[in-house]
Structure 1
Amino acid sequence: MRVASQQLYTSSVYSMQQTTQAITDTMLQMSYGKSILAPSDDPIGAVKVMGLESDTNQANQYLDNISTLSDYYGRAESTLLSMNDTLLRATEIVTAAGSSTTTAEGRQAYAEELRSIQSSLVDFANSQDDNGNYLFAGNATTTEPVTIDSNGDYVYAGNSDTREVPISESSSLEVNYPGDELFFSGTNDIFNELNDYIEVLEDPTLSPGDPQFDAAQAEMTAVLDETRGSINSAMTSMGSKQNTLTMMETHHKDMVLYNSKVIGETEDLDYAEAMTDYTQNLTVLQATQSTYVKIANLSLFNEM
């Protein structure tokens, strides 16, 4: 009889411990709103959730990259558009200045306006983002790309490198356009060519029809066309890349939303079911405790 009582006593204690642990686990689940608090709760579900969370983190990183690229392309495209408009005005001035009907005073006025345009173009080329990084310096983003050397000539101080930024597992896009490709392409550049042309306009001994004037006129026109062509090509490329970013952004956002839904379905707690389990386990615990008290009293009686 004592052996049977001891077995019942041990069984009751073990049952109470197990039931108490189950109640504690349920209360924790209800506190966090999750059915999986440790891999042991649901090994398959836990692995599934970890995989989805990893995919979500990667997608969010791509979204951050897309935001950075979109901001860069937007700023760069807006700046280049302003440059293109300024170059169109410069083209109008050069055409008018090359007219045989334009007086020396008129050419001087055009020269002054071209000086202002030149200054604006340099400012555009040296544009920066909110963090002070230069947009058109290649990867030398802390270096002012267009400067004046000791001879008074405009030079490119950036580099020709670009940086690849991943926007998905299998694709990436370039950021940091090198200014040498945009403004210093060919044998001449827009900044120094404007200097040379302005000097011709300011020379009262030169006028349309003179070989030196006509050569400068032709060269200035060609460099303006070439620079506008480089800028328009870059803007077209940026517009295409912006479209790609928009599509990839939609894809990643859809993935994050879907993953969130599946994670919720896998680990979110069913409160009604949890409350039922809690109530049932509490009832079992109370019954086991009652049995335990009876067994303990019986064992005490047998000892007397």
Structure 2
Amino acid sequence: MRISSVTIFEQSVSSMNRQQSDFLKVSQQIASGRRVVNPSDDPQAASRAVGVDQARAVTQQHADSRVTARNSLAQTESVLNSVSDAVTSAKTLLVQASSDTLSDADRQSVASELRGVYETLIGQANATDGNGRHLFGGYQDSTEPFVKQDGKVEYVGDNNAREQRIDASRLMKVSDNGQAIFQSVPSGAGHVATAGDGNTGNVTFKGPQIVDQESVEPNRAYEITFDDSTDPMTYTVKDLDTGASVANGDYESNGDDPVRVQFQGLALELEGEPSTGDSIAVNPADQGNTSIFATIENALGVLENPTENAADKAALRNTLSTSMRELDNSLDNVLTTRASVGARLNELDVVDSVGGNRMLNYEQTLSDLVDLDYAEAIGEYSLRQVGLQASQKAFADMKGMSLFQFL
């Protein structure tokens, strides 16, 4: 069987092209560091690599989301720290103003300092993050959530909290609305006593204190009223929910020892002389004033006005006593929110650790699927290089195999 010269040349060229293609493929793998450069190199590995790469991208997106969430929570925690310091300063000023040794001028000086704390709190409540969004406005974060209207601070945000997905199965709150922080009290805050607006006597109170926890009904509101038509004067404690009287007795004040009024596990200590019709309300903390700003506004209202008689002094003491109790509850609420923010920051650290391990697993899986074994590739490179050189040498020798050279 004779083989034509054309066939010999075609086979030689085809062999050289094949060897060169294999050599270039190995060269490309070494240059890119990847075993699977094209899907055709290993279709199954390429398909799995696409899925792993997508999962890795989603995990990276969640990691970026956690960075944003951490920044927002860290700013919130910093602001709440400043708020707690301001509330503590306000409480200290009210304790100072409660001293009977202060004159009206002294109390106005305290009021001036307290107003500075008040303005600071408003500024903190309207704090923004690095993007200009207000931290405590809920979804309405483009405008200030707290505004002054007729001398009082009002909340104009909503009661929502912005959330962010930090992992495939975890949606985390990255902010708290201002109503929950500045206009709420923690559950179980107890009761707060408040003197009636129309009181004309000079009765003052301390408390209420809990004397029997099992007897306390946390959601009940009470009112203490006085009647001087009898001798001695009497008091009546009425349950405002049922209208029933839960306690009554004689009000006999000797000026030295306070009159102790005890009812439903609670007790108040009363001093001074009430008038008929005077009242003291004892409400659950969450049913009365829960706004930090309203509390300070009430305190400023009595501190900035002179006390002209015993009734004014009693109103001063009662308002400051109520304000201090309300500030305690507000501070507890701020600290509770701050603790919640700290817990979320800790959770971010845990989720970061889990996400980091997941990313390492994805990287390892992706490497196993498509990355190149350099030792094996270099051996293959040398082999393909020798094969290409042999093919070229064979072709060169084949060209010389002709009878015409012997003529």
Name the TM-score, length of structure 1 as normaliser. Answer: 0.89
Structure 1 residues 300, 288: closer, same or farther in 2, change over 3 A? farther
Structure 1 residues 4, 125: closer, same or farther in 2, change over 3 A? same
* Matching residue of 1:238: 341
Structure 1, 115-124 or 286-295: larger mean CA deviation = 286-295
Name the TM-score, length of structure 2 as normaliser. Answer: 0.68
* Matching residue of 1:111: 111
- Specify the SS of the correspondent of 1:25: helix
Query: Of 290, 293, 298, which residue of structure 2 is paired with 1:191?
Result: 293
- Specify the SS of the correspondent of 2:147: strand
Report Cα offsets for 1:78-125 as digits up to 9, x if no partner: 211111111112112212222333322221121111111101111111
Question: 2:177 & 2:403 partners in 1: Cα distance?
Answer: 92
TM-superposed deviation, 1:51:
2.6
Structure 1 residues 207, 64: closer, same or farther in 2, change over 3 A? farther
Does structure 2 conserve the Cα–Cα contact (< 8 Å) formed by 1:98 and 1:208?
no
Which runs of no fewer than 5 residues in structure 1 stay unpaired?
none
- The percentage of aligned residue pairs carrying the same residue is 29
Structure 1 residues 90, 208: closer, same or farther in 2, change over 3 A? farther
Report Cα offsets for 1:211-261 as digits up to 9, x if no partner: 432442233123312321221110111111111111001111122223223
**Residue 200, structure 1, aligned to residue 296, structure 2:** no
Amino acid at match of 2:347: T
TM-superposed deviation, 1:265:
3.6
Amino acid at match of 1:82: S
* Matching residue of 1:56: 56
Which structure: greater strand fraction?
A: 2
* Matching residue of 1:121: 121
* Matching residue of 2:157: 158
* Matching residue of 1:261: 364
* Matching residue of 1:274: 377
Structure 1, 108-117 or 253-262: larger mean CA deviation = 253-262
* Matching residue of 1:98: 98
Once superposed, which parts of structure 1, at least 4 consecutive aligned residues long, lie more than 6 Å away?
none
* Matching residue of 1:11: 11
Question: 1:68 & 1:38 partners in 2: Cα distance?
Answer: 37
Report Cα offsets for 1:29-78 as digits up to 9, x if no partner: 12112111112112232233323322221221111111111111111112
Does structure 2 conserve the Cα–Cα contact (< 8 Å) formed by 1:154 and 1:192?
yes
Corresponding pairs, count: 302
Structure 1 residues 78, 152: closer, same or farther in 2, change over 3 A? same
**Residue 221, structure 1, aligned to residue 324, structure 2:** yes
Question: 1:48 & 1:115 partners in 2: Cα distance?
Answer: 65
Does structure 2 conserve the Cα–Cα contact (< 8 Å) formed by 1:200 and 1:206?
no
Does structure 2 conserve the Cα–Cα contact (< 8 Å) formed by 1:73 and 1:242?
yes
**Residue 67, structure 1, aligned to residue 67, structure 2:** yes
Amino acid at match of 2:172: L
Amino acid at match of 1:194: I
**What RMSD in Å do the two structures reach over aligned CA positions?**
2.5
* Matching residue of 2:242: none
Which structure: greater helix fraction?
A: 1
- Specify the SS of the correspondent of 1:167: strand
Question: 2:308 & 2:60 partners in 1: Cα distance?
Answer: 63
* Matching residue of 1:41: 41
Question: 1:35 & 1:254 partners in 2: Cα distance?
Answer: 25
Does structure 2 conserve the Cα–Cα contact (< 8 Å) formed by 1:5 and 1:295?
no
Amino acid at match of 2:354: H
Q: Indicate the structure whose relative CO is greater, using CA pairs within 8 Å and at least 6 residues apart.
A: 1
- Specify the SS of the correspondent of 2:167: coil
Does structure 1 conserve the Cα–Cα contact (< 8 Å) formed by 2:34 and 2:370?
yes
Question: 1:53 & 1:85 partners in 2: Cα distance?
Answer: 48
